[in-house]
């Protein structure tokens, strides 16, 4: 391996470490002093100089001086870092946007680190096109990583803090003394019952609408109106669904009584657009050739839909429905006015009685933190909710992969 490549690898390695330090400091708000930042920038700068000068000496080509130039820019930034607060004149802004030095430094380290590691592909591939190519690929990978990172941080955080609270007692008992003791057994059952009931309501409605849209409606004004309505429904904040559910279902239909059915109806309205959309997509994915084949054999349109179009799109329909239900399972706003009590509802035993549910339990515990000793219980509830929602989503993926139809 040539010295040029070794230098490039060294730059890559150093800049990755720098960006990780920057990211870590951003994530957990730990201090970054002037010296750490200036030091790491100077290290990067010197390495870039070394790489650039070495390649220029071995092969006199103007392109090779790129890294030298870049190294000088970094050196300038590093030397400015002592003055940054004054140079940018951050002080007068402080009341509006508090940007502490450490935040600013961490951000610079993160960005410079990522950019330098991207640049290091150039000298490694001797400034050829391939260098630009693999550098771009690398940046895409970094983007993916940055997208997934929050997800992993959240999941590990919740598992880490919640696992201790999940005990036999927690899973099998009702809430005792405002959640300080006891468990969430009725809330688990309540959430599951609510999801099941929502599914029963939403499946026929959603699939029916989708079949109408995909198979019967000519592409005219009516279809556009229905589709716009579905989109608006999807864009509506869930708290609005909750208030509507309260104003309509609870107050008018059920005489002011919060109940399981009112909550499920509200959640059904919330998930309806998701189910309709995915079902319509699944139906549209069935090739038109098959419809023609069936019609040409003397089948009616309805026979065609029932026997040829719907069966292969069932996995898609189910996946969409389950994903929608996964979302519904975690919602608090639509059920808090329509269906749930924090305590005292017991295990669900009637459609017309209120229930307890995990998301609302979590919200209530969060409100009590500071007044009561419920933090562990709250984390455990969060973990349980996460498990249920992830479980629902994973089962959707399994169904889809197992029964996916290829044409």
Binding site residues, another protein, CB under 8 A: 218-219, 287-300, 303, 307-308, 312, 405-407
Of the pair 164, 287, the CB lying nearest another protein is at 287
Of the pair 89, 289, the CB lying nearest another protein is at 289
Smallest separation, CB 397 to another protein (Å): 22
Question: Measured between alpha carbons, how far is 63 from 135 in angstroms, rounded to an integer?
Answer: 17
Smallest separation, CB 40 to another protein (Å): 59
Smallest separation, CB 304 to another protein (Å): 8
Q: Residue 144: count other Cβ atoms within 10 Å of its Cβ.
A: 10
Reading phi first (left if > 0) and then psi (alpha if -120 to 50, else beta), residue 402 is in alpha
Of the pair 107, 299, the CB lying nearest another protein is at 299
Of the pair 28, 296, the CB lying nearest another protein is at 296
Smallest separation, CB 282 to another protein (Å): 14
**What's the per-residue H, E or C state across the chain?**
CCHHHHHHHHHHHHHHHHHHHHHHHHHHCCCCCHHHHHHHHHHHHHHHHHHHHHHHHHCCCHHHHHHHHHHHHHHHHHHHCCCHHHHCCCHHHCCCCCCCHHHHHHHHHHHHHHHHHHHCHHHHCCCCHHHHHHHHHHHHHHHHHHHHHHHHHHHHHHHHHHHHHCCHHHHHCCEEHHHCEECCHHHHHHHHHHHHHHHHHHHHHHHHHHHHHHHHCCCCHHHHHHHHHHHHHHHCCHHHHHHHHHHHHHHHHCCCCCCHHHHHHHHHHHHHHHHHHHHHHHHHCCCHHHHHHHHHCCCCHHHHHHHHHHHHHHHHHHHHHHHHHHHHHHCCHHHHCCCECCCCCCCCCCCCCCECCHHHHHHHHHHHECCECCHHHHHHHHHHHHHHHHHHHHHHHHHHHHHCCCC
Smallest separation, CB 307 to another protein (Å): 7
Smallest separation, CB 291 to another protein (Å): 7
Cβ-contact 329, 239 below 8 angstroms = no
Smallest separation, CB 225 to another protein (Å): 18
Of the pair 33, 287, the CB lying nearest another protein is at 287
Smallest separation, CB 203 to another protein (Å): 23
Smallest separation, CB 223 to another protein (Å): 11
């Amino acid at each position: 391996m040539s010295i040029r490549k070794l230098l490039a690898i060294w730059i890559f390695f150093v800049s990755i470490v720098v960006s990780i330090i920057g990211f870590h400091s951003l994530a957990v708000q730990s201090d970054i002093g002037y010296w750490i930042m200036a030091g790491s920038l100077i290290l990067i700068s010197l390495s870039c100089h070394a790489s650039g000068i070495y390649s220029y000496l071995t092969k006199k080509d103007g392109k090779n001086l790129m890294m030298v130039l870049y190294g000088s820019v970094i050196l300038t930034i590093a030397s400015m870092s002592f003055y940054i607060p004054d140079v940018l004149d951050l002080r007068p802004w402080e009341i509006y946007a508090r940007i502490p030095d450490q935040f600013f430094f961490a951000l610079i380290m993160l960005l410079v680190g990522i950019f330098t590691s991207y640049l290091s592909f150039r000298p490694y591939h001797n400034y050829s096109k391939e260098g630009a190519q693999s550098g771009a690929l690398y940046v895409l990978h970094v983007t993916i990583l940055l997208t997934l990172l929050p997800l992993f941080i959240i999941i590990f955080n919740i598992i880490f803090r919640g696992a201790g609270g999940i005990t036999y007692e927690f899973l099998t008992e009702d809430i005792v003394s405002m959640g300080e003791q006891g468990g969430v057994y009725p809330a688990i059952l309540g959430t599951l019952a609510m999801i099941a009931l929502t599914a029963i309501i939403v499946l026929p409605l959603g699939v029916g609408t989708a079949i109408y849209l995909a198979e019967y409606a000519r592409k005219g004004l009516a279809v556009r109106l229905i589709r716009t309505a579905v989109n608006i429904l999807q864009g509506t904040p869930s708290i609005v669904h909750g208030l509507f559910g309260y104003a309509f279902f609870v107050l008018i239909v059920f005489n002011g009584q919060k109940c399981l059915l009112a909550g499920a109806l509200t959640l059904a309205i919330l998930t309806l657009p998701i189910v309709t959309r995915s079902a319509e997509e699944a139906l549209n994915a069935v090739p038109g050739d098959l419809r023609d084949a069936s019609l040409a054999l003397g089948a009616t349109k309805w026979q065609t839909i029932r026997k040829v179009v719907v069966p292969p799109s069932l996995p898609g329909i189910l996946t969409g429905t389950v994903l929608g239900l996964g979302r519904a399972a975690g919602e608090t706003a639509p059920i808090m006015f329509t269906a749930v009590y924090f305590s005292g509802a017991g295990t669900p035993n009637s459609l017309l009685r209120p229930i307890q549910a995990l998301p609302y339990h979590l919200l209530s515990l969060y409100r009590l933190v500071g007044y009561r000793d419920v933090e562990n219980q709250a984390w455990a509830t969060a973990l349980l909710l996460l498990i249920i929602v992830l479980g629902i989503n994973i089962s959707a993926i399994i169904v889809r992969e197992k029964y996916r139809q290829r044409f």
